[in-house]
Structure formats: C-alpha cells, structure tokens
Amino acid sequence: MTATVTDDPLFQYTDDIAPRPIPDALLAARLDVLAAVHDLATIPDADMEKPWAWKGDSEIELRYAFYRISEEFERAGIDAAAALRKAGADRGRAADLIAPGTAAQWDLHGLLLLLPDAAWDAKPGGEEWTVRETLGHIIGSQRAYAAVTAWWQAQGLPVDSSLPTARPNHIYDVLPSDEDEGAGTPAEVLERLGDVFDQSTERLAGLPPDRLAYGTRWVGFALDIGFRLGRWSSHVREHTIQVEKTLVMIGHTSTEVDRLIRLILAEWGRAEAVVYGSADGGEAIAVLAAAASRARVIASEVAQAGPAPS
C-alpha cells in the first residue's frame, strides 16, 4: 500500500468512523490473481489452439485455460455471496454502494495491464488526453472525491437550498495534482489506482446509514452522500471508455490474450465486489482466496510446461 498523503482530509473528517482496512487474506489473493495473469501473458496467440492436458487425462485447447480461470472467479463470486448469506453478514449500505467501484477499477486494470509502455504516452491527436493523463485524472479524482465526501458527511447538513455552494478548496490544495498521480511506471500508476480505491473504502465503507442522507454538492446539484458513493464506479467506467477510444486513436490493437486477461480481471473484480468494504468477510474471502490460488496453479502449469505437443 502507498503511504498516506500528509494532512489528507479523508482521514481528518472520518476520525469518528470505524475504519475497514482491506483484509490481509484478500490482499494475498490479489497477488495470486496478478501472478496468474502475468504467467498467462507469456502465452502467444499462436498457441491458443494447441492442446492442453487439463486434469492430466484428457486434452482441450489451451485457450480454455483462460476461460477456466474466469469460470473459477465467476463461481467464487457466487459462492462468496452464499457464504455471506449463510453467515447473516450485512456490510451496510455505504459498502454496498462503494463495492461496484472495485469491479470497475479491476476491469480498467485488465485493459491496461499488458499495454506497451510507449502507448501510455502516445499522443492521440488534438487536445485528447494520453492514457497516462486519463489515469492521473481518475486517481486524482478518486482521492479528492473521497476526501470531499468525508468533508461533506462531517457537516451533517440536509439536502436543501441551504447547502453551501462554494467549492471546499482547502481540501484540494493539500492533495497531489493529476500530473503527480499519473507519474511513474505503468505498474506504479496501476498500483496507485488500487491503493487510492482501497484507502477510500477503508475510511468510508463504515459510514453510518443515517449519514448517507446528508447533503452534498456535485457539479452544483444538491444531492446526498449516497449518490456520491455510487459515483465511484461510473466515473471509472466513463474514463475506461475514454481509454478505449484513445487506444483506437493511437492505433493500438489488443491481442486475444490481452482480451482474455481483461476478461479474467473483470471477473475477479465482480467477485471481489461481493466482499469489498466488509468489516469481516470471513468465509467469503476464504472462498475468493481459494479460487485465486487455483488460478495461480493453472496459469503456472500452463506457462511453465507449455502446451502439449500436437
């Protein structure tokens, strides 16, 4: 995890909310997921139709290894939800609103994971942003969005015409610029994206239900805090589409392996969203961790042994 920004208002205005750090078991599962997709990335498109000795007693085309992992994550999401129901767990409305954001950012991660470094700074033409500039905006907006949300909920105001209209500039003044957020290697930027989401979730997923009705401003509109939390995912989706358009403008074409790895990470994100923001995921997180471990084994075997000779 990255270090906390000094004097971050997100922490100042949520000191009375019980934090919900991302459980170690889920962090470890993510490492297994990323190890799996990095192994899969070593397989060229040309090998996708070669035979794979799945389970050791029959053969199927190598392409299925990617779908098998996706199926593992899809089933894990279903089983994790069942485990939560069985335990009678309720993570609360705030976490429910936040959780789709992790699915959105994992999908974006999948789109960018195998993108050549040069493509991050390739100019699409006109005044369109580069991929790096778009990522800097996403990260900077998420960090500021969470901090401003924290400030608004601390005001405890109703949603009516008495809401302040002035932008709380004192919050933005202490946060990194979008340019700073997008700096570094692509791997560092993607890690920063995940860290900012996790930090936002840690401080706001435990927001008491009554505070979701408190007033806030969003682009001038008087709305409630619940609306703000529900915007996390759609903001990432909006700029994921922007990145897709940018890749077309710079002439980048995704391989089949690229597309399948994005599918895998998107499915992982949907599964993770089942437990994201929970105070204690318990058995549900164990279900996800087991699926991530199986995925790592499958990917490692395929990448190290290579497809069986045809």
pLDDT tens digits in sequence order for the chain, 310 residues long? 343 444 689 999 999 999 999 999 999 999 999 999 999 999 999 999 999 888 877 789 999 999 999 999 999 999 999 999 999 989 999 999 999 999 999 999 999 999 999 999 999 999 999 999 999 999 999 999 999 999 999 999 999 888 988 888 999 999 999 999 999 999 999 999 999 999 999 999 999 999 999 999 998 899 999 999 999 999 999 999 999 999 999 999 999 999 999 999 999 999 999 999 998 889 999 999 999 999 999 999 899 765 444 4
Residue listed under structure tokens 């309720």: 90
Tell me, what's the pLDDT at 2?
41
Tell me, what's the pLDDT at 305?
63
Q: What is the distance between the alpha carbons of residues 214 and 212, in angstroms, rounded to a whole number?
A: 6
Domain ranges of the chain: 9-305
CATH 2.60.120.10 fits 9-305, yes or no: no
Q: For the purposes of burial, counting CB atoms within 10 Å of the CB of 257, is it exposed (0-12), middle (13-18) or buried (19 or more)?
A: buried
Q: What is the distance between the alpha carbons of residues 140 and 3, in angstroms, rounded to a whole number?
A: 15
Q: What is the distance between the alpha carbons of residues 97 and 91, in angstroms, rounded to a whole number?
A: 10
Q: Which tokens belong to 217? A: 């401003």
| pLDDT digits 0-9 by tens, 34-69 | 999 999 999 999 999 999 888 877 789 999 999 999
Calculate the CA dihedral of residues 19, 105, 141, 161 and round it to 10 degrees: -70
Tell me if 305 sits within 8 A of 43, measured CB to CB.
no
Tell me if 102 sits within 8 A of 276, measured CB to CB.
yes
Tell me, what's the pLDDT at 58?
78
